Amino acid sequence: MSITEGWLNCKISKGMLPKEYAVVCTSLDNSTYSFFAYHGLVDVEKNSVKVNILEWEDDFCLVNLPVVPFENHGRTIKVSTALVTTP
């Protein structure tokens, strides 16, 4: 599968600044990734953040987060395919 945009289901809450949101995502190994994202990168109603899908397998996706998370593990994480939707 080529790189495509998608949406990752996360916990979304208000950020510190206007038009900013706090995002918390969970990887396939249950690690937590958190960061602030501009309002154009989140869908508050669907609790999702825009990601680039790098690889799609039956039970996992490799996605690139829109920003480096606070935990500084890098932007690329492995998540359950059940948490990812494509347009």
Q: Residues 21-78: pLDDT tens digits? A: 999 999 999 999 999 999 999 999 999 999 999 999 999 999 999 999 998 778 999 9
- How many other CB atoms are there within 10 angstroms of residue 4's CB atom? 12
Please check whether residue 69 is in contact with residue 75, taking contact to mean a CB–CB distance below 8 angstroms: yes
Which range marks the domain in which residue 64 is found? Answer: 4-85
Please check whether residue 20 is in contact with residue 38, taking contact to mean a CB–CB distance below 8 angstroms: yes
Domains: count for the chain: 1
Within its chain, how far is the Cα of 63 from the centroid?
A: 7
